Amino acid sequence: MVFPAGGGIVASFLACRSIYVTASVDHLAGSFLRVRSGAPPLARLPDGCRVVSAADAYAVQHETIRALGGRIAGWKVGARTPDAEPFAAPILEATLFDSATVLPPGLCRHIGVEAEIAYRFGRALPPRDAPYTTAEIRDAIASVHTAIEIVDTRFVTPGSQPALDHLADQQSHGALFVGPPVTDWQSLVPLEERVILTIDGKVVADHVGGNSAGDPIRTLVWLAGHAARYAGGLAEGAIVTTGSATGTLFVAPGARVSATFAHLGTLSITC
Q: pLDDT digits over 206-265, tens only? A: 999 999 999 999 999 999 999 999 999 999 999 999 999 999 999 999 999 999 999 999
- Domains of the chain, each with CATH number or no CATH: 72-270 (3.90.850.10)
Residue type at 254 in one-letter notation: G
Residue 25 — very low, low, confident or very high, per pLDDT cuts 50/70/90? Answer: confident
194-199 and 202-208 as β-strands: parallel, antiparallel, unpaired?
antiparallel
The pLDDT of residue 24 is 83
Mean pLDDT score of the chain, rounded to an integer? 91
pLDDT tens-digit profile of 87-113?
A: 999 999 999 999 899 999 999 999 999
194 strand-pairing partners: 208
3 state DSSP class of 241: strand
What is the reported pLDDT for 50?
86
pLDDT tens digits, one per residue of 107-122: 999 999 999 999 999 9
What span, in angstroms and rounded, lies between the C-alpha atoms of 189 and 211? 12
Please give the pLDDT value at position 22: 55
Q: What is the pLDDT of residues 33-86, one digit of tens each?
A: 999 999 999 999 988 788 999 999 999 999 999 999 989 999 999 999 999 999
Angle between helices 54-68 and 216-231 (to 10 degrees): 60
- Reported for 34-43, long-range contacts at CB under 8 A and 24+ positions apart, including other chains, are 35/154, 36/68, 36/154, 41/109, 41/153, 41/154, 41/155, 41/156, 42/154, 42/155, 42/156, 43/155, 43/156
Q: What is the DSSP letter of 170?
A: G
Q: For residue 24, what is the enclosing H or E element?
A: helix 8-36
